[in-house]
Amino acid sequence: MDYFVGDTEYFKGIKKIEFEGKKSRNPLAFKFYDAKKMIAGKTMEEHLRFATAYWHSFCADGADPFGSATIKFPFKKSDPMENALAKADAAFEFITKIGTPYYCFHDADVAPGSEDARTYEKNYHLVADALLARQKASKVKLLWNTANVFTHPFFMNGAATNPDFAVVSRAALQVKNCLDVNVQLGGENYVFWGGREGYMTLLNTNMKREREHLARFLTMARDYGRSIGFKGTFLIEPKPMEPTKHQYDFDAATTIGFIREFGLQDDFKCNIEANHATLAGHTFAHDLQVCTDSGMLGSVDANQGDNQNGWDTDEFPSNVYETTLAMIAILKNGGLGTGGLNFDAKIRRNSTDPEDIFLAHIGGMDSFAFGLEVAQKIIDEGVFDGFIKERYASFDSGNGKLFEEGKLNLGDLASLGRDAEIIQKSGKQEYLQNLLNSYLLG
Ligand code: XLS
Ligand code: NI
Ligand code: NI
């Protein structure tokens, strides 16, 4: 048995998920994700660095504003600590059966008792010891953890950006403990998602001061993390809105600007979530490319949104068109570095069979594995790159080159413009879309 099971097996009847190839009709098998298959010198597992998200898979019970829980977890216990330990067992059983090499969690996902600060610390560290034991037994690694400083009513006006210093300090208590636990568990990254770091109305908000507080807080977290031996990457996860009306880390470009404005660029990168990019009015690939272009791609929350909905539906990725374009940006970045593809995604409220969480991850992993193979082929054959290179060829020599090198002034440029011969050139978008489809379908 090459998966982890504690004293109880929670997902009975489901074995380790294996690769069977694209002809397989076995719902509990991979069709494209073949962990050890080599693609351009690395295994699929090394390229994709998948992670299971604790909060969606072992905490979200299907409750929504219109209805109560529908998903019954096999590990539920009435004592909160016993529940946390049983949940950890079920989580590691799931993670090793599905075969993501990594996992991610919030403090509140793994440990109970966040109301009283001292109980919070005690419980969290007890559970962290239990997680470490399970990591060692299973070889599963921590991609990142983070502090849940958005659910509790304490944080209704923000965490690091709260107008009340007492709340800022309470958020710091959680972040400090999360960094301690991260180092204990060998975390490769640490995430800040600014769930309530934003505002609802300017009528009660000093935005300048709040952004400065956020930067001060992140700088302190960076300094503390480095002082206790955290060697990984600090990540900020952009999102434009929800739960606040205006979130400060709106999208990749805004977040990169913030990171640079406050001198955090040597330690911080972005964690790009597909559905957050689309909420910001971009495509997933756009926000990845913004990061790739500025050396700021840290990690990815792999999910997808719903074209007809304006909120964060956090669906499992199934759109292979999107995963292919995403993998092109990731491969051109030279991979994900310390980051990975974390399934920040949930099954639908009416997906209530215990196997549904397996099927969801299989679909997500297959969609990215497929995207990886197609993206590598597109890059290897270089047709798109060749087309783009040719499109900018007028900057490769002569005056265009001098322009790029900063050797012309506006007067020079304007005189060239006086006699410029402008020939209309098609952008060939339809040709390129057809070409992309031929790779996807071929
Ligand atoms: C919510 C975010 C959240 C972060 C971690 O929209 O995606 O889940 O990834 O706090
Ligand atoms: Ni996320
Ligand atoms: Ni999200």
For the chain, which residues make up each domain, given as ranges? 18-381, 384-440
Active site residue ranges: 106, 109
Q: How far is the CA of 312 from the centre of ligand 3 (A)?
A: 6
Question: Residue with the nearest Cα to atom 4 of ligand 1?
Answer: 193
Q: How far is the CA of 275 from the centre of ligand 3 (A)?
A: 6
Question: Residue with the nearest Cα to atom 5 of ligand 1?
Answer: 193
Question: Residue with the nearest Cα to atom 10 of ligand 1?
Answer: 193
Angle of CA points 191, 315, 322, to nearest 5°: 85
Give the pLDDT of residue 1. 62
Identity (one letter) of the amino acid at 199?
Answer: Y
Give the pLDDT of residue 89. 98
Most informative mutation of 109, 193, 249 for ligand 1 (most atoms within 8 A of CB): 193
C-alpha–C-alpha distance, residues 108 and 419, integer Å: 66
Give the pLDDT of residue 83. 97
**Span 261-276, average pLDDT:** 98
Q: How far is the CA of 103 from the centre of ligand 1 (A)?
A: 14
User: 233-243 pLDDT, tens per residue?
Assistant: 999 999 999 99
Q: How far is the CA of 415 from the centre of ligand 1 (A)?
A: 52
Q: Residue 366 CA to chain centroid, in angstroms?
A: 17
Question: Residue with the nearest Cα to atom 2 of ligand 1?
Answer: 193
The H helix count followed by the E strand count for the chain is 16, 14
Atom of ligand 1 nearest to the CA of 271: 9
Give the pLDDT of residue 4. 92
C-alpha–C-alpha distance, residues 373 and 175, integer Å: 38
Most informative mutation of 109, 144, 344 for ligand 1 (most atoms within 8 A of CB): 344
**Span 315-329, average pLDDT:** 98
**Span 39-62, average pLDDT:** 98
* Residue 360 near residue 316 (C-beta atoms within 8 A): yes
Query: Phi and psi of 204, rounded to 5°?
Result: -125, 20
Q: Sort 383 into a burial class: Cβ within 10 Å, 0-12 / 13-18 / 19+.
A: middle
Is the pLDDT assigned to residue 77 strictly greater than 70?
A: yes
C-alpha–C-alpha distance, residues 239 and 246, integer Å: 9
**Span 406-424, average pLDDT:** 98
Match 């559905």 to its residue by tokens. Answer: 275
Give the start-end residues of each E strand in 238-347: 246-247, 268-273, 297-301, 341-343
Atom of ligand 1 nearest to the CA of 342: 9
Q: Is the peptide bond before 243 cis (omega within 30 degrees of 0)?
A: yes
Atom of ligand 1 nearest to the CA of 150: 10
User: Which ligand is located closest to the Cα atom of residue 242?
Assistant: 1
Question: Residue with the nearest Cα to atom 7 of ligand 1?
Answer: 344
- Contacts of residue 287, defined as CB under 8 A and 6 or more positions apart, other chains included, come to 238, 251, 252, 270, 272, 276, 277, 280
**Span 259-288, average pLDDT:** 98
Q: How far is the CA of 54 from the centre of ligand 3 (A)?
A: 13
How far CA 198 is from CA of 173, 175, 190, 385, in Å, comes to: 20, 18, 20, 39
User: Which ligand is located closest to the Cα atom of residue 147?
Assistant: 1
Question: Residue with the nearest Cα to atom 8 of ligand 1?
Answer: 344
- Give the chain's mean pLDDT: 97
Nearest 10 degrees: CA dihedral of 287, 195, 270, 46? -100
- Percentage of the chain modeled with pLDDT above 90: 97
**Span 307-335, average pLDDT:** 96
Provide the CB-side half-sphere exposure for 117 (13 A, CA): 12
Question: Residue with the nearest Cα to atom 6 of ligand 1?
Answer: 312
Q: How far is the CA of 73 from the centre of ligand 3 (A)?
A: 22
Give the pLDDT of residue 166. 98
Q: What is the 3-state secondary structure (H, E, C) of 38-72?
A: EECCEEHHHHHCEEEEHHHHHCCCCCECCECCCCC
Q: How far is the CA of 305 from the centre of ligand 2 (A)?
A: 12
Most informative mutation of 144, 239, 313 for ligand 1 (most atoms within 8 A of CB): 239
Which residues does ligand 1 sit against, CB inside 6 Å? Answer: 106, 146, 191, 193, 237, 239, 273, 301, 312, 344
Give the pLDDT of residue 2. 80
User: Which ligand is located closest to the Cα atom of residue 243?
Assistant: 1
**Span 82-104, average pLDDT:** 98
Most informative mutation of 146, 273, 304, 342 for ligand 1 (most atoms within 8 A of CB): 273
pLDDT range class, residue 115, cuts 50, 70, 90: confident
CATH class of 18-381: alpha beta
> How much is the pTM?
0.98
Angle subtended by helix axes 429-441 and 320-332, to nearest 10 = 100
pLDDT range class, residue 332, cuts 50, 70, 90: very high
